Structure 1
Amino acid sequence: MSRQKGILKLVGTLNGKCFYQLNGQYIVRKAVGPSRERINNDPAFVNVKCNNQEFAAASQLSKAIRRGLEDKANQFKYNYMASRLTGCCRKIIQKGSGQFGEREANLFNTPSNLIGFQLNKDLAFHQLYNSKLNVTANTQRRIITIECSQSTTNQHYKIPKKATHYQLTAAISCVSKLQWQPNEKAYRTAYPEQNTLGGAIQSPPLKLSTTHHNLNLQWQTPTQNGIPTDVAITVWLGIAYLKQQNQSYHTYRTPQAMQCIAII
């Protein structure tokens, strides 16, 4: 902390330094933010505190989605995917029930905010492929089925020049709702056993020159009792293109895309 010199005396913050008056003297020091203790206890920072609490919940939701997907979606994701996903989850929490700072964190608040989310923001799934899809679950929500009644060549928009086949990848990630616990002053998972459950199913290589009927990708949960209704099952679909070389297939690194197609 040092005194200001010169004719003009400043009050405020500029270029990372704080200028203020103290006991008749004009002081300059390095600007620092409020401490965690002050944010948590000073009424002047109540909105900051509430926002931090809900941001932490959004981070938990985002992490649960990513843990469920794990390496199944690595080939499709792009830089800053995690931060974009957290921002999406933050908007979902804003629609939750409860008071600010303690609102329920549940993907079912506004599923439309997540449906259509692209793992690669620079290349949307529908820019590569567009086919009518149907996603269903059985009564106990143990079996998730993604169906495509018909897939044709003209439903592909950016086929690599020498590609001969394409492959669909369905990925599942289960995300429990989070609830604020006043005694713990933190968000906690309602169903930890089912939270972050996930898996992936791939179609066989599909010829681009052929019309395919009744394509079916099915995932079954490893739990015997099914998935509780307060656990959101996020369903993702990706596409990649391949070139057949004798009896093996080479996967093109680009273009590839994956998006969330349903929350059930």
Structure 2
Amino acid sequence: MAKQNGLVKIEGTIEDLTFYTKDGKNFVRRKGGISKERIENDPNFVRTRENNSEFTTAAGAGKMLRLALGSLIFKAKDSKMTSRLMKTMSDIKRYDSTSARGKRQVYNGLATPDGKLMLNGFDFNINAPLSTVLFSVYDLDTATGVVTIPNLVPQEQIRYPEGATHVSFQCAVLAIDFETEASELVLSNIENVPVDLTPTSVTLTPPSVPATTGVTLFLLGVSFFQEFNGVQYSLKNEEYSVLQVIEVV
């Protein structure tokens, strides 16, 4: 690897040289490595092909989950959420004990208790895990999807950003089949309460729990608002907005 000097900086490939920028500096290197055709056909690279296949499977499962959750993720995510989720999916497929190497599937892994456990507790915003924002017990009824937070004292039991005057809670139920790619998302009501010392019981009730041949994910979200002249404005603070998978069945 060599640095580019001179007034004209090039990016891209010319013959067997690749020009690129990294950390604000310009570099050039000679193209090399193993050809794609060799990786796809050479018997010596069978393990590489198997790993690539399962990598693609895990990435596809992560994308499927992100799309199924839609706008919920945009409210609470970190910059590395996609790669973290893909790693989780890769870990889950390892619990597929029925498929051959290179063909292990996320949906087979999720059919096991250990596979479900890998996804349970996943925080879409690693900057705001649920356990570091909500310091109160809550209850989930998996038969109805109802989440209750009894006797919550927001100012004492919630870590909230500076300027927040209100906090909102919402739960969701996602039925998703990673084999057929079918999914259905059901959202609860939103409970918006002042950040003060008044004890409040929060009840989040989805209208239904959708059926699935795959798995059902129960999620809890927390977001913050600032009231100004009677209007609440969202505080898009990545250190506090929460979305967590609280149960997988």
Which TM bucket (shorter chain)? Answer: 0.7 to 0.9
What is the CA-CA distance between 1:46 and the residue it aligns to?
1.5
Structure label with greater radius of gyration? 1
- Richer in helix (by share): 2
Q: What is the Cα-based RMSD across aligned positions, in Å?
A: 2.5
Q: Structure 1 residues 75, 125: closer, same or farther in 2, change over 3 A? A: same
| Alpha-carbon offset, residue 199 of structure 1 | 3.8
What pairs with 1:68-107 in structure 2 (closer than 5 Å)?
68-97=68-97, 98-106=99-107, 107=110
Q: Output aligned runs, 1:4-83, within 5 Å.
A: 30-35=31-36, 37-83=37-83
The CA deviation at 1:219 is 4.5
CA shift for structure 1 position 55: 1.3
* Structure with greater contact order relative to length (CA < 8 Å, sep ≥ 6): 1
Name the residue aligned to 2:195. Answer: 208
Which of 219, 230, 235 is equivalent to 2:218? 235
1:116-195 superposed matches below 5 A: 116-138=121-143, 143-153=144-154, 154-157=156-159, 159-177=160-178, 189=179, 191-192=180-181, 195=182
* Residue 95 (structure 1) shift: 1.4
Report the TM-score, using the length of structure 2 for normalisation: 0.74
Task: Return the alpha-carbon distance in structure 2 between the equivalents of residues 127 and 249 of structure 1.
Answer: 24
The Cα of 1:246 is off from its aligned counterpart by 4.2
Q: CA deviation at 1:260?
A: 1.5
2-side partners of 1:30 and 1:163: how far apart?
Answer: 53
Mind listing any 5+ residue stretches in structure 2 that lack a counterpart? Answer: 1-15, 18-29
Q: Is the 8 A contact 1:68 1:172 kept in 2?
A: no
Q: Is the 8 A contact 2:148 2:203 kept in 1?
A: yes
Q: How many residues align?
A: 213
Identity of aligned residues (%): 21
1:247 partner letter: G
Consecutive aligned runs of 4 or more in structure 1 exceeding 4 Å deviation: none
Tell me, in whole angstroms, the C-alpha distance in 2 between the residues paired with 1:173 and 1:117. Answer: 14
Normalised to the residue count of structure 1, the TM-score between the two structures is 0.71
* Deviation at residue 214 of structure 1 after TM alignment: 5.1
8 Å Cα contact 2:148-2:201 kept in structure 1? no
